[in-house]
Chains A and B, each alone.
Chain A
Amino acid sequence: EADIYQTPRYLVIGTGKKITLECSQTMGHDKMYWYQQDPGMELHLIHYSYGVNSTEKGDLSSESTVSRIRTEHFPLTLESARPSHTSQYLCASSGQASRGTEAFFGQGTRLTVV
């Protein structure tokens, strides 16, 4: 059982609202990731972090921002939600990339912006 948790599981919110998706892991992993995935489509990396106070943008441009103040916590924020942000957001963590270690995923947050 992976020790990585995302909340909320589902979120329906109005346009223009600010939202924060939470992601926490208890495995002490340095690497953490946020992916965006539409139904039946591929996973797109939108943010990643290789340690505290380090964050980078992924391959898919996103209006969201992230922070990594603590090793275990990697929240994602949308300052002003829009219907185009409707998607599933998946958080993951892993150990040493240089050893190709596996990634553990949370259950995801399905976001709907109305």
Chain B
Amino acid sequence: SQKIEQNSEALNIQEGKTATLTCNYTNYSPAYLQWYRQDPGRGPVFLLLIRENEKEKRKERLKVTFDTTLKQSLFHITASQPADSATYLCARYLTDKLIFGTGTRLQVFP
């Protein structure tokens, strides 16, 4: 079955550093990978989408890469801030189903 795996352990980093989160998928490469942010008790909010023919995508302090050889996407937050603390999810479509990874909790300390 198609699976999306993210590091289930929380990532703790100091303010100002770059946070890097990993998303690994199995079997065939998706045409798109999406990244979302989820705060406690709330629904996920879309951040970035990257296509399989794109190596990298940027939006302000966010950067996403997509390596179809490694079957992996990396999500980077540069100059991280305490307000960036949240759970970050990657997601892919399987025909009409939108499937999410397990999510990685990021904690940024002042």
Contact = CB atoms under 8 A, between A and B. Distances in A.
Nearest to B30: A100
B34 A100 contact: yes
Contacts of A108: 41-43
A50 B103 contact: no
Secondary structure type dominating chain A contacts: strand
Contacts, number: 66
Given A100-B31, A100-B51, A108-B41, A45 B98 contact: yes
Contact of B103 (A42, A90, A97): A42
Contacts of A97: 93, 95-96, 98
Interface in A42-83: 42-43, 45, 48, 50, 56, 58-59
Interface of B: 30-32, 34, 36, 41-46, 49, 51, 89, 91, 93, 95-103
Interface of A: 31, 33, 35, 42-43, 45, 48, 50, 56, 58-59, 88, 90, 92, 94, 97-100, 102-108, 110
